[in-house]
Chains A and B, each alone.
Chain A
Amino acid sequence: MIPGRWCTAAALAIALAASGTAAGQDTDSRLPATYLSALASYRAGDLAAAFGKLQELGESEVPGITQRLMRPDVAGASSWPRLLTAAILLHTEAFLIRSEAGPWPTGDVYLLTAHSLVRRLLALAREGQPGIGESERMLARDWYLLLASVQHGRADVGRSRAFLEEALKSFPKDAHLTLALGADHEMLSDQTAGYVNFFDTDGRFRRQSEVDADDELGEAIRYMEQAVVLDPKQVEGRLRLGRLLYRRGELDRAAQELDAARQLTSQDQLRYLALVFRGMVEAARGQYERANSFYSDALRLLPSGQVAAIAKAEAAYLRGRVGEAAATIQATLQQAKKDDPWWVYNIGEWWHFEHRLAWIRKYVQQ
């Protein structure tokens, strides 16, 4: 086994691309027993065993295995789709484990091969390959969304954007991907300075760009508007669109979207955020009493909500109620801390990570 990242992203990409045209030339399409055992363990839900076997195999084997997985003769026609999807998830989770502890592992063989397999899956779906239908396409879409969740969780818009843009080419009318790309732009629209290093989906550095918050805000709004048109009942899209419009000073439209979001959901976290943002719209209008009313409603939903208390204190301060502002701030800063939904909302797609991972695990393990 060769430790570390033995091949560069470019070399692997070339190798994988070549595999498409070389199909049939390699007569040995069998997969190593250890790898098949890792897949079986993964499907059975025994993740520790699966990753143990993968490690035993060694990552230098992974590109060759991936080449074989892409060929139709790797398995029977009926089992090939399941083999592909299980491999995608196994490689992806191996990558997640490795990326968790440190910096983003550029050129990671597990991510590169998972991505190649996803693209192969989508190509097969387009070609009408038996056994690869809408649910496999949705798995591929959710793979992109899962990856974006991880990248956003690491504030790594420089990597997520290329994946999301690629995904949208395959799913141009998908509300979730459209929202995710909007959230991607939204993350940068909050930045007041700095630059972003952009990478392509193979992990190659492409460019360094200074953050243009206004441009990012405009793009975020454009994608959120599209997402809401694609799925008018999508609460998060309306919530994000409402806040983005507020930030651009379009207060009436912002209020409409936020009111719609509140009416569409019974989830406390989303309602809390909609109320906080709605209060900020009123504060921007100079209607501090109305703003205070929204913030109070938000705090009734989540009494430990810190950002609602901060916004409430700001409204009090601007009304000249300095003592009330001080008391509100002191109380919230001394309160036992529970998670405020804002802290996760503010990290793009990150708040979907857990359930996305659970969903695609369930798909493979069913």
Chain B
Amino acid sequence: MRWQWAVVAFVAALSSTPSGQQFRSGAELVSVDVLVTDGRSPIAGLTAADFELTDNGVPQTVEQIYVEQLPLNVVMVLDRSGSVRGERLRALKAGALTVIDRLRPRDRAALVSFSHRLDLGAALTGDTATLRRSVETLDAEGSTALRDAAFAALALRTAEVTRTLVLLFSDGLDTASILSEAQVLEIARRSDAIVYTIGIRERPARNRPGYRLRSDRPVDHRFLERVSRETGGRLLYAEENRDIERTFGRALDEFNTRYVLGYAPRGVVGSGWHRLEVRLKKRSGTVLARRGYFAE
């Protein structure tokens, strides 16, 4: 049961944290990464007692809660297809560099870039110089294998005990993936990574040839919305190119305000899909969490 194992291993990772909070050794524990907002801004200062959590409908006791203590793996997945050429690529690089600059000492990052082909610009590393170089050398050409890139980022997770944030930027429709949306969403459901996606709103484009996005609403990023929702993440929009850098920073800031809830499942057994529901007990607020987890 990969999920439980992963959380048990948090013990070692957290034993030196100032909070001193630890999971019980040997227990089967599940972690749930949640974002709590008042509709606009994250709500800080919550404790385990503020949460109500059910696993397959069975109420559970949240035993541990973490905010920001856990080291972070950020897998940046950047669309470098032909559509980002020019100003957008410069803005995208600035966004990625912002994330690199904000990494904490124990955090690491990786860079996956994609057009129709996928490249690993940098494997997971804490070496920010390497990361910066991989970002600075990006260029743009080709079509868009968005779904394949999302899968690659989810599959790249290591066995190490960290939280994984997949930060996925794309400005267009998928034109080149071998994997279907359903296939990637299935992987997203099984992954313990949280996917934040960043899209960009397009101005209407009429009477141009080829595939075009709907002109009466923002760029169709249905897949971006779905893959982030499956993992408990969010789709954020940059309104225009110059807003991309700020949106990257916003995604990371928001991720760092999330809570990691730990509980030892009681009254639920068996492998397969476990449906999760997380609510606040005594106060109002919106809780965003993954819909469940897959126990092997």
Interface residues of A (CB under 8 A from B): 103-104, 154-159, 188, 190-197, 199, 205, 208, 210-211, 247, 276, 280, 306-307, 310-311, 313-314, 317-318, 320, 322-323, 325-326, 328-330, 332-334, 337, 340, 342-343, 346-347
Interface CB pairs A-B, < 8 A, 28: A103-B208, A154-B210, A155-B143, A155-B210, A190-B174, A190-B175, A191-B173, A193-B173, A194-B213, A195-B215, A196-B212, A199-B209, A205-B207, A280-B178, A307-B148, A307-B178, A311-B178, A314-B179, A314-B187, A317-B187, A318-B190, A328-B155, A330-B156, A332-B118, A333-B118, A337-B117, A340-B117, A342-B178
A197 touches B208 (CB 8 A): yes
**A140 CB to nearest chain B CB (Å):** 24
Check B176 for interface membership: any CB of A closer than 8 A. Answer: yes
- Bound Cα distance A330, B143 (Å): 21
A286 to chain B, nearest CB (A): 12
A346 near B213 with CB under 8 A, answer no
Report yes or no: A197 in contact with B209, Cβ–Cβ below 8 A.
yes
CA distance A156 to B186 in the complex (A): 31
B263 within 8 Å of A (CB atoms): no
In B32-88, which residues have CB < 8 Å from any A CB? none
Q: Is the CB of A314 within 8 A of B222?
A: no
Q: Which of A157, A210, A330 makes the CB contact (< 8 A) with B120?
A: A330
Q: Contacts of B112 on A, CB cut-off 8 Å?
A: 333
Instruction: Give the dominant DSSP class at A's interface.
Output: helix
Collect the chain A residues with CB atoms within 8 Å of residue B211's CB: 155, 157, 188, 191, 194-196, 211
Number of interface residues of B (CB under 8 A): 43
B279 at the interface (CB under 8 A from A): no
A155 in complex: contacting residue of B175, B179, B223, CB < 8 Å: B175
Cβ contact within 8 Å between A197 and B212: yes
Neighbouring A residues of B209 by C-beta, 8 Å: 103-104, 154, 156, 158-159, 197, 199
**Set of chain B residues within 8 Å of A329, measured between Cβ atoms:** 152, 155-156
Chain A residues within an 8 Å CB radius of B220: 192-194
Main secondary structure on chain B at its contact with chain A? loop
- In the complex, which of the residues A194, A276, A318, A340 has the most CB atoms of chain B within 10 Å of its own CB atom? A194
- A322-B157 contact in complex given A310-B152, A333-B112, A333-B120, C-beta closer than 8 Å: yes
Determine whether the beta carbon of B175 is less than 8 Å from that of A192. Answer: no
The 8 closest A-B pairs by CB, nearest first: A333-B120, A193-B220, A307-B178, A155-B210, A325-B155, A329-B155, A156-B209, A156-B210
In the complex, A4→B173 CA distance in Å? 32
In chain B, positions 180-199 with a C-beta closer than 8 Å to chain A are 180-181, 183, 186-187, 190
Report yes or no: A311 in contact with B179, Cβ–Cβ below 8 A.
yes
A320 to B271, CA, bound (A): 12
Q: Check A310–B178 contact: CB distance below 8 A.
A: yes
* Chain B residue contacts of A188, Cβ below 8 A: 211
A320 touches B123 (CB 8 A): no
Q: Which residues of B are found within 8 Å of A208, using beta-carbon distances?
A: 206
Complex Cα spacing A313 to B180, Å: 14
- A103-B209, A314-B183 in contact; A343/B116 too (CB < 8 A)? yes
Write out the residue numbers on chain B whose beta carbons fall within 8 Å of the beta carbon of A334: 120, 123
Tell me if B248 is interfacial: C-beta within 8 Å of chain A. Answer: no
**For the complex, is B250 an interface residue (Cβ under 8 Å from A)?**
no
Which residues of B are found within 8 Å of A325, using beta-carbon distances? Answer: 155
CA distance A178 to B207 in the complex (A): 28
A194 to B296, CA, bound (A): 38
A328 to B212, CA, bound (A): 34
Asked whether A197 lies within 8 Å of B207 as measured between CB atoms, the reply is yes
Known pairs A193-B222, A322-B157, A337-B117; A314 contacts B212 (CB<8 A): no
Question: Cα distance A193–B214 when bound, in Å?
Answer: 8
Residues of A within 8 A of B173 (CB): 191-194
Q: A192-B223, A196-B212 are in contact. Are A310 and B148 (CB under 8 A)?
A: yes
**Closest chain B CB from A167 CB (angstroms):** 19
Instruction: Return the contact of B179 from the options A310, A323, A346 (Cβ within 8 A).
Output: A310
B99-137 with Cβ < 8 A to chain A = 112, 116-120, 123
Q: Does the CB pair A196–B210 fall under 8 Å?
A: yes
Inside 8 A of A159's CB, which chain B residues have their CB? 209
List of A residues within 8 angstroms of B148 by Cβ: 307, 310
Cβ–Cβ < 8 Å partners of A311 in chain B:
178-179
Q: Which residue of B lies closest to A154 (CB)?
A: B210
Tell whether, in the assembled complex, residue B222 and residue A322 are in contact, meaning their CB atoms are under 8 Å apart: no
Q: Are B155 and A276 in contact (CB under 8 A)?
A: no
- Bound Cα distance from A217 to B210, whole angstroms: 18
A110–B183 Cα distance when bound, in Å, is 45
How far is B164's CA from A322's CA once the two chains are assembled, in angstroms? 15
Cβ–Cβ contact A157 & B210, under 8 A: yes
B133 → A minimal CB distance (Å):
15
Residues 153-185 of B, flagged 1 when their CB comes within 8 A of A and 0 if not, give 001111100000000000001111011110100
A276-B178, A314-B151 are known; give 16 further A-B pairs, CB within 8 A.
A159-B209, A193-B173, A194-B173, A195-B215, A199-B209, A280-B178, A310-B152, A310-B178, A313-B151, A322-B155, A322-B157, A326-B155, A333-B119, A333-B152, A334-B123, A343-B176
Does B246 make an interface contact (CB < 8 A)?
Answer: no
Contact A326 B151 (CB under 8 A): no
For the complex formed, measure the closest distance between the CB of B262 and the CB atoms of chain A, giving whole angstroms: 21
Given known A322-B157, A326-B155, contact A343–B117 (CB-CB < 8 A): yes
Are A192 and B123 neighbours in the complex by a CB distance under 8 Å? no
Are B212 and A194 neighbours in the complex by a CB distance under 8 Å? yes
Partner of B214, one of A190, A195, A310: A195
**B183 — which chain A residues lie within 8 A by C-beta?**
314
Does B281 sit at the interface, judged by CB under 8 A?
no
Q: Which residues of B contact A320 (CB under 8 A)?
A: 2, 296
Q: A157–B212 Cα gap in the complex (Å)?
A: 11
